[in-house]
Structure 1
Amino acid sequence: MSKEIIAPDGSPMRAAVIGCRDIEESLAFYRDRIGLSVLADELLGGPAFRGFWNLNGGASARAVLLGQGDEGVGQVLLLDFQLPEGSARPVEIRDRSVVRAYGCFNLNFYTADIHRDFEGLKKDGYVLWSDPVQHFFGDDVGDPIEGIFEGPDRVPINLVELATRDTATRVGQMRAYVEQRGYTGAGFTPIVTSSHGVDSSERAMAFYEQVLKMKPLIDEVLGTPDSNRLLNLPEDAKTRVVFMQGNHMFGKVVLSQPLNYECESLIERARAPNIGYLAQVFAVSDLDEAAANCSVLKAEVLSGPQHTPWPGAGSVSAMLVRNPGSGALQVLMEDA
């Protein structure tokens, strides 16, 4: 079963990096509501930290890393930046009115019962994009149910219930895997997928395939009224979606390219110390090889390979680059 749905190699997304407006509110969501464990809670600072994230002198951040178990995939890294007096005030990367954009966009979690979850979210005052919608992808894929709502720090959260039980389908295989692996105590998983809005699927795929060794799992065009209603898109919108997967069920990246409609770009605002979805993190076995492949693809390098502090790991060798398919920030770190 797992051989059919998990690529033989490749780097899944290790973590999503989020700049926080109120880290306690963010923790209440990811730790208490989603059920992720706090793996590390540290103060990061110093020249290496500031240099990597291109921050002004004196800046630091409380860094809280959350995940499930020790697999190092689908984690959330919350950064609460502390800036010296006189610094420019951080801005929100995404306005709530933006429903599709170029850049790192949302986080997806599997859930055991999406209708129960949405009733609880509605009761607690969360802003829902729509009621849960069931997709019908055909006999080979299966029929997931999903819904989107506004999470902390203006990061949309997408919950997905794997409704198909037939293990001849991809959704059924995923469901069996998750049930065997187990949910968090709150009934969720680590990050299973994250949306990356791109203006070129081909350039983005080249980065994920050549630098990160990921493989495409699903390549479809979405455009049904139900899916567009779920995403708050025009009724006739067409979106190419490509699921890129590494060597794990979790930590997939969904490339989303608008085919017949305009969308905004988050790229200019998606940088430290701003508030929202800053970057995706991937662990690679050979950082020098990854850097060489970035050069071949003409990916813009903001911080070349260097040592930088990382919560729970002391110092890691990492680099910060822009994905050539959108300009979104991606952290590549050498796997210890």
Structure 2
Amino acid sequence: MSDHGPAPLVEGITAAIVGVRDVDPHLAFYRDRLGYEVAAEGTVPAAVADALWGTGTAGVEAVALAAAGADTGRIHLVRVPEPLAPAEQPHNLDVGLIGIDMYARDIETAYAQFTEAGLAWSTPPATYGVAVGEQEVMVTQGVCPAPDGTAVVFVQPATVRGTAAWDADPGRLYTELTSVVCHVPDADAEVGFWGPDGLGMSVWYDVVFSSPGFDTVAGLPSGTRMRLAFLAGEKTARIEVTSAEGEHGVDRRPTQRPGRSLGHSGWAVRTRDLDAALDSVRRTGGSVLGEPVETADPLHGKGAAASVTTPNGVSVTLYEPRA
């Protein structure tokens, strides 16, 4: 324990879990085009996968992708033979998991290269402002559909904020995942779950704003008022919790389950103390879906893991590595 209270139970979102029908198109996208490396691959044993995700009696093929060797901000590809629903990219007003974000060094060049390769972006690069206190923060981003319904958001930051991949390899065109996005009905509960009084992430800002530029980029009705809470730990990926005033879109939470759904279907989060993290989950309105299970697999290494949901039903695999 430090002079500032107990150490945070989590350091950030270690990985986004992405369900895939076939690994090869994802390797072509993330590895060959974006420069991620295969950090580990193999099978999550049947007993572990079923305990965590309810996948049944077969082992689950999995690949862990890392940017410049970073142990955080990763992409966990999990093969799903019989998905709960067809692949479909979420809309920003849908409830549940939305996009996965990473920095691009030159977003216009990235867009041109993708276009030349025949890969269309659903949202070309655009710049908009977000009011944070008395300042307006300018954001430049674009969205490219990845295989199996995953929305990859490329952001060219005005100010670079801690990225392990660019620290390790400043010449890279793309970073590890810098943030993951969920759109939820109860933002207060989600912030409480992840924040300083929960699992220990910091609230960098929590604002309500309306921006014509953002409405255009995000495909929102004109004049939409959006709450954006940005939570950060010591490492990427950070969390963008969004909540729009008024009508929501499709509730995708029932079909966003790791190991059973295609696309962005959950988060993997490393913790220093699994028992304490599970206590925090219960205390802050989340649900623990089963007892911790011991594992040694390509996604979590050797350790103990448990499946939980946040107060808004986001699926999270918490795990504690063993020495």
Q: Shorter chain as normaliser: what TM range?
A: 0.7 to 0.9
The one-character-per-residue Cα deviations of 1:259-302 (angstroms, maximum 9, x if unpaired) are 12322211100123221112111111111111111121231222
Instruction: Output the CA distance in 2 between the equivalents of 1:119 and 1:312.
Output: 33
Q: Which amino acid aligns with 1:294?
A: V
Call closer, same or farther: CA 1:145–1:314 in 2, change over 3 Å: closer
1:231 and 2:218 matched: yes
The answer for the alignment partner of 1:302 in structure 2 is: 289
The answer for the alignment partner of 2:50 in structure 1 is: 50
Aligned-pair distance for 1:221? Answer: 2.3
Runs of 5+ unmatched residues, structure 2: 1-6
If the length of structure 1 is used for normalisation, what is the TM-score? 0.85
1:202 and 2:195 matched: no
Instruction: Output the CA distance in 1 between the equivalents of 2:306 and 2:94.
Output: 24
Is the 8 Å Cα contact of residues 300 and 321 (structure 2) preserved in structure 1?
Answer: no
SS at match of 1:190: strand
The answer for the alignment partner of 1:68 in structure 2 is: 67
The one-character-per-residue Cα deviations of 1:211-232 (angstroms, maximum 9, x if unpaired) are 4200111222242111111111
Is the 8 Å Cα contact of residues 129 and 230 (structure 1) preserved in structure 2?
Answer: no
Give 1:139-288 correspondences, 5 Å limit: 142-162=137-157, 164=158, 171=159, 174=161, 181-183=168-170, 185=172, 187-209=173-195, 210-248=197-235, 250-271=236-257, 272-288=259-275
Instruction: Output the CA distance in 2 between the equivalents of 1:177 and 1:307.
Output: 29
The answer for the alignment partner of 1:129 in structure 2 is: 122
Runs of 5+ unmatched residues, structure 1: 1-7, 83-88, 165-170
Instruction: Output the CA distance in 2 between the equivalents of 1:110 and 1:201.
Output: 25
Call closer, same or farther: CA 1:65–1:97 in 2, change over 3 Å: closer
Aligned-pair distance for 1:183? Answer: 4.6
Instruction: Output the CA distance in 2 between the equivalents of 1:55 and 1:106.
Output: 24
Instruction: Output the CA distance in 1 between the equivalents of 2:234 and 2:163.
Output: 17
SS at match of 1:205: helix
Call closer, same or farther: CA 1:267–1:144 in 2, change over 3 Å: same
SS at match of 2:207: strand
Aligned-pair distance for 1:105? Answer: 1.5
Aligned-pair distance for 1:199? Answer: 0.8
Q: Which amino acid aligns with 2:17?
A: V
Aligned-pair distance for 1:160? Answer: 0.5
Q: RMSD of the alignment, in Å?
A: 2.4
Call closer, same or farther: CA 1:92–1:33 in 2, change over 3 Å: farther
The answer for the alignment partner of 1:86 in structure 2 is: none
Instruction: Output the CA distance in 2 between the equivalents of 1:52 and 1:97.
Output: 24
Q: Which amino acid aligns with 2:217?
A: L
If the length of structure 2 is used for normalisation, what is the TM-score? 0.88
Call closer, same or farther: CA 1:303–1:309 in 2, change over 3 Å: farther
The answer for the alignment partner of 2:313 in structure 1 is: 327
SS at match of 1:131: strand
